[in-house]
Amino acid sequence: MSLKKDTFTIVFAILGLVIILFVLFPLGKMIFTSDPGVLYQTFIDKEVRDSIWLTLYASLLATIFAFIFGVPLAYLLARKEFWGKSIIEGLIDLPIIIPHIAAGIALLFVFGRRFLVGRAFSFLGISFVNEIGGVVIAMMFVSVPFLINSAKEGFKSIDPRLENVARTLGASSWGSFWKVSFPLASRSILSGGIMMWARGISEFGAIVILAYHPMTASVLTFERFESYGLEYSRPVAVLLILICLSLFIILRMLASGDRKL
């Protein structure tokens, strides 16, 4: 029985190793074959630094907006039963399924200057086409399912009796949420936020349709690849990978707390 168990573990470990190598090998080859001098020259390039900063900043804004509007929805989906719930859950997952170029076109038909929502925001001095606002909503559209689904699972894992006890002790629905539900689900919410932030950073298709300028790092990499070829675009991609990898590891450590990474 022990030998069979060990065989089972070894086979599964080998199969899992194939996937790990599939992910690591292309990234590692690109990083470790890059010239450090070229990377440094790329890093001090103002256009590159601005594009990376814009990418990180816009994705963070998208995550904050999604937190404000998405966490309440996640709580309702976790706690309430109502007609159309499964439809709403399906709609939340829809941005993951549809091609992101199509998502960008759909957003353009809503937030473009000639369309209803775009015109309404223009009266407030807010524009989305070729503006930071467009980058933010494109990132938010494609990545919000990660936050909502993770938060929903976090709320589902909480025993409803804990909330009921808080209410019997005099807490309101608001008090029960902020003192019981939210703290207990905060790790799941944070994990979902990290995944949403990371997914927003990597977005290209929806952004390139709605807000080609100002350029995010992914759009800049694509433009340099199209205009100058692989060698000119690779340093930008490597820098973005290194920065995101560093930040992602730090945030995952914070999210995991005292658990093993």
Which pLDDT tens digit goes with each residue over 24-36? 888 888 788 777 7
Average pLDDT, whole number, for the chain? 85
Q: Read off the amino acid at residue 126.
A: I
Tokens found for residue 230:
């692989």
What the block records as the tokens of 210 is 């709605």
pLDDT of residue 189: 93
Structure-token match 């995550």, residue found: 63
What is the Cα–Cα distance from 76 to 130, expressed in whole angstroms? 35
Confidence of residue 59 (pLDDT cuts 50, 70, 90): very high
Helix (H/G/I), strand (E/B), else coil: 31: helix
Residue-wise pLDDT tens digits, 196-233: 998 898 888 899 998 888 888 888 888 888 888 777 78
Identity (one letter) of the amino acid at 47? Answer: E
Q: Which pLDDT value is given to residue 5?
A: 58
- Count the residues in the chain: 261
Cβ count within 10 A of residue 130: 14
Q: Is the pLDDT of residue 128 over 60?
A: yes
Percent of the chain's residues with pLDDT above 90: 27
Rounded (10°) angle between helices 182-202 and 230-256 = 180
Helix (H) or strand (E) holding 135: helix 132-156
pLDDT digits (tens, 9 = 90+) for 225-248: 888 877 778 888 888 888 878 877
Mean pLDDT of 159-185: 85
Query: How many whole angstroms separate alpha carbon 87 and alpha carbon 31?
Result: 43
How far apart are alpha carbons 181 and 79 in whole angstroms? 11
Domain 56-219 part of CATH 1.10.3720.10 = yes
Specify the pLDDT at position 4.
57
Predicted TM-score (pTM) of this structure = 0.85
- With CA atoms as reference, report the closest residue to 211 among 113, 130, 112: 130
pLDDT tens column, 92-124: 999 888 888 999 999 988 888 777 788 888 888
